Each structure stands twice: as C-alpha cells, then as structure tokens.
Structure 1
C-alpha cells in the first residue's frame, strides 16, 4: 500500500487534490441532513382537481336557454307530447322539474294515457290574466316530439287549473273543468309527504350504521384511532378538504344544484375519494384507509336507498 501511494504521489504530486473551498463544500454537504420529500403536495394536487370539478359543476350547463327561442303553448300543442315530469313546488321564483333521470324528487310520465291527458289539458288552455286567488302548486316540464320543451308553473284556485310559462311569462287558464279535474287528480295521486320525523330517523340510522362499520373495521384490522394526524401535512390536507366540503355545500344550496342527480353523485363520489386518498397517502401503513373505504361503501349504499325512496 505504501509503495503504491509513493508511486501515486510521484505521478500526481503531493499537493492537495482539492482546494480548501471545495473541501469545505464537500464536508458541508456530507453532514447536511437530507430534506424530507413534501408528502403533502400530491393530496394538494388532488384537492385542486376537486375544486376544479366543483367549479365546473357550479358554472355548468344547468341554465336555461334564451326565452326568445321558445314557442308558446298554443304553438307547441300542434306537436305530440313525448314525455313530461312534475315536481311539487309552491315557490313561484324557483323551478324544480326537468329531464327524466336528472332531477331528484320528481315524477316522470311517459305512458300514452298520461301524455294524451296533458296534451288535452294544454289544448284547453287559453291566455288569461293571472288572479291573486291562484297559488303555485307544482312544476311541470314538458317535452314535445320536435325536441322543444316548455317549463310550466302549475297554479290552482280551488279546482280551477292554470299554468304560467316560465320562458314567455304568459299565463293560461284551463277552461274545461273535466279535463282540469283529471289532470289535478293525476298530480295529487303522486304527491309524496316526507315528514321531519322520517328524515330524522333515517339520518340517525345512517350515522349509526356508518359508525358501526368503522368500529368493526378498526377491530378486525387492529387499526388505531390515535393519533388522529401523523404530521402537519396530514392535518393541513384534511382541514383543507373539510373546508372545501363545507364551502361546496353552501354554494350548491345557493345555486340549487342538489336538485340534479348528477350533481349529487359527483359530489358524493369526489369527497368519498378525497377521504380515501388522504388516508391512503398518509396512514396506509396503519391501514386507516380501510375505514374510509368501508364507511364510503356504507354511505353510498344508504344514499342509493334514500334516492330510490325519495324518487
């Protein structure tokens, strides 16, 4: 070894191989602690995607077209009714009926007897002046075979029937008493009354089943409950996700988007996935994401039951 070093020194010389500045830099980097990767950046990217999706939903294609392009009821009665839907709504400023399968809590009518009944009802409607005795009862969305649609606010005054076209703001009264009575009977037959007591009981049962599912999974896989957050990144990401959820609930209520079945499904799917992704990314070693997956599946099943019962 010594002879080899002597030969190497003769070839390269005995001067230091590195300058003093280079040596200090090497020593500094050698003892510098390694920076931990930013584990929070990927969940934050996912949350950003969630915000984008929700923003697109809020500004999405839920608005109605220009009213100047819509024909009057009298012009549309020359065409056959393809289908129509109806939803209970006593507010004159809002409208809660729409295309079949897109709106929650409405009734759909496609049978020949039903479409012929509303066609006959609209044919008996004449343009009139609205009386203060009429009160809003239901929303009726009608699609004709020429692909045009009309949004009608249904009004009642005892057994007298009237409609207001939301696109043209024209008020119509149904002059034929027998036809009006038949249509009112059809609408009242499909009325559903959901009491606060029923809703409260369903909510309590749903919360209990979700809690029971989470408890069973924790016991089955020995998943610890504490600490709740393993680091600052986990806590920060969870708080941001919860803030987005709360803000989205407020915005969706303001815009009335929870009427749309598609909006509800996207909202639920996105936030169930956000919970699973966050838990999997930060605490997958402890299998905490198992509880998120189990709770999400149980919640989804309960929501499907609720939608079926409500529709």
Structure 2
C-alpha cells in the first residue's frame, strides 16, 4: 500500500487536489442547490394544494344558486313542479345540512316521483304566518324546480303540526292541512330508520379498513426495510411536519366553522391536500428510507375509506 501511494504521489503530486477556497465554493454551491430543490418541492406542493382547494370551492355546493325570485315559495310550488329535492336530518336551528344532490354526506335524495309529489302538496298547502317559537327544527330540505330555481327550507315540527322557514327570505309558513302534514312527518321518520340502520355496516367497514391499513403498513415496512423507530429524520423534517399539522388543523377548523364538513367536496379537499403534503414531505426527507411508500399506500386506503363511507351512506 505504501509503495502504491508513493507511486501515485509521484504521478499526481502530493499537493491536495482541493484548495480551501475551492472546497468552500463547492460547499456553497451544493448548499444553494439543496435550497433550490427544497424550494421547488415546497412550491409544487403548495401550488397543487391551493389549486385543489380552489377547484373544489369553485365547483362546490356553497356557490350562489339560482334562488327563487317569486313572492313566496308557495307561489313557486304552484307554478313549477319539483325536479328533485334532498332531505337531511337536522334538529339544530342555526345550521343547514342539506344541499345539491351528490354533494352532501348522509342525506336522502329524490327525483320526480311520489316523494316529490308529496312535498309539492306540503308546499301548496302552506300559508304565510307569523313566526311561532313553539316549533322546533326537524329537517333541512334543498329543492330544485323544473325552471332550475332552487330553495332551502328548514322544516319545523310541533307534535303533529308542520311549518317551515325559507332560508333565503327568512319567511315563516305553516301547513294547515293536518293530513298532508302527517303524511310528510310519517315519511320523514320512515326514512330516518333507513338512514340509522346503515350505521351498522358502516361501523364494520371502518373496523375492516383500519385493520387492513395496519396490516398493509407492516407488510410494506418489512418488504422495503423501512424503519419505524425514528419518527423524524432531522430537525428540519420535524419543523416542517409541525407546520403541516398546523395548516391542516386551521383548514379543518375553517371548514367546521363554515359548516362545509358535511359537503363531499370539502371532505375531498381536506383529504387530497393533506395527502399531497405528507407524500411530498416523506419523499423529500425520507426518500432513502422509502417512507413515501407508506404515505402513498395510506393515502390510497384513505380514499377507499372515504368512498366506501359515501357509498354505504347512500345505500
């Protein structure tokens, strides 16, 4: 080894190949390149998350709708047939939980048929009245008529008497026909039993998904030799994760305050944005350990869980 080193020194000389100045320049260049790569990764994630959020807000059910422009909802019901309506259980006075078909979790949706005729009858038998505080919140209903106009009604109940408030105009109506009111009340409670019975298969489905996710993670860790003990690979990784957790918490809090969590679009926004964050961060900081494999798998299982929840909710 010594003779080889002596021979090598004679060929290339004993002076160091990298001067102190050159080493500093190389280190500075590498650090600058690392910062550029990091900025590119974060920028990509932030842009993708922002575009996803804006997309779902743009197409979401909370955008302004073609609300009724007639004097009363009763006039509209007498002139136009109901094309479809959605009904949601809600005993709270200060929230509205029904929306466009296909956009709200765990609501019942009806197209033209016996149900729409029943509700048309309810609206046509209603009369303008002075607001009565003896009624309590019962159901929320979103309606679309044949002329594309929409309305949001909060249905109120007092024993066997029915009333409702037009959310748009805040006008109070009473349904004086007790037979019509009783038929609609019976229909609503019958639908409640159908909705409540779906919680049993949903609970079983959630347990199965959790077990599958836990088992899948163990298989992936074992197959790709991904360590579990070390949660963060560096201080920078830890700080980044804290920031992401904080952003997700604020986003969820805003959606809850705005009552958007009942919307499928809002739930998809939260899930997709969170997945983009976690996959990108795990790929950037734990690429050598293949940590992003777990994030991707967990993300896919989360989407399956969400879609399964929606499908079971509408069975």
Interval containing the TM-score (normalised by the shorter chain)? 0.7 to 0.9
Displacement of 1:239 after TM fit?
A: 2.1
Displacement of 1:131 after TM fit?
A: 2.4
1:229 correspondence with 2:229: no
Aligned match of 2:13: none
Displacement of 1:233 after TM fit?
A: 3.4
Question: 2:162–2:174: 8 Å Cα contact kept in structure 1?
Answer: yes
1:253 correspondence with 2:256: yes
Aligned match of 2:42: 44
TM-score normalised to structure 1 length: 0.81
d(CA) in 2 for partners of 1:293 and 1:139?
38
1:163 correspondence with 2:161: no
- For 1:155, what is the secondary structure of its paired residue? strand
d(CA) in 2 for partners of 1:237 and 1:197?
39
Q: Deviations over 1:165-188 (max 9, x none)?
A: 111122111122221112112211
The alpha-carbon distance between structure 1 residues 70 and 278, as it changes in their structure 2 partners (threshold 3 A), is: farther
Displacement of 1:80 after TM fit?
A: 1.0
The alpha-carbon distance between structure 1 residues 214 and 101, as it changes in their structure 2 partners (threshold 3 A), is: same
Aligned match of 1:241: 244
Displacement of 1:122 after TM fit?
A: 0.8
Aligned match of 1:34: 27
1:211 correspondence with 2:209: no
1:109 correspondence with 2:101: no
Aligned match of 1:74: 74
The alpha-carbon distance between structure 1 residues 240 and 42, as it changes in their structure 2 partners (threshold 3 A), is: farther
Q: Tell me which moved more, 259-268 or 300-309.
A: 300-309
Question: 2:86–2:101: 8 Å Cα contact kept in structure 1?
Answer: yes
d(CA) in 1 for partners of 2:284 and 2:40?
9
Question: 2:67–2:149: 8 Å Cα contact kept in structure 1?
Answer: no
Q: Tell me which moved more, 282-291 or 132-141.
A: 282-291
Q: How does 1:173-212 map to 2 (within 5 A)?
A: 173-191=174-192, 192-193=195-196, 206-212=209-215
Question: 2:160–2:182: 8 Å Cα contact kept in structure 1?
Answer: yes
Question: 2:56–2:265: 8 Å Cα contact kept in structure 1?
Answer: no
Displacement of 1:157 after TM fit?
A: 1.1
The alpha-carbon distance between structure 1 residues 263 and 71, as it changes in their structure 2 partners (threshold 3 A), is: farther
- For 1:41, what is the secondary structure of its paired residue? helix
d(CA) in 2 for partners of 1:273 and 1:188?
41
d(CA) in 1 for partners of 2:199 and 2:119?
33
d(CA) in 2 for partners of 1:100 and 1:178?
28
Question: Structure 1: which 5+ runs fail to align?
Answer: 1-25
Aligned residues: 286
Question: Structure 2: which 5+ runs fail to align?
Answer: 1-17
Displacement of 1:65 after TM fit?
A: 6.0
Q: Tell me which moved more, 137-146 or 208-217.
A: 208-217
Aligned match of 2:14: none
- For 1:259, what is the secondary structure of its paired residue? coil
d(CA) in 1 for partners of 2:70 and 2:267?
29
d(CA) in 2 for partners of 1:303 and 1:65?
27
d(CA) in 2 for partners of 1:160 and 1:265?
39
The alpha-carbon distance between structure 1 residues 70 and 270, as it changes in their structure 2 partners (threshold 3 A), is: farther
The alpha-carbon distance between structure 1 residues 289 and 243, as it changes in their structure 2 partners (threshold 3 A), is: same
Q: Quick check: which has more Rg, 1 or 2? A: 1
Q: Tell me which moved more, 236-245 or 63-72.
A: 63-72
Displacement of 1:110 after TM fit?
A: 0.7
Q: Tell me which moved more, 36-45 or 266-275.
A: 36-45
Q: CA RMSD in A?
A: 3.0
Question: 1:43–1:237: 8 Å Cα contact kept in structure 2?
Answer: no
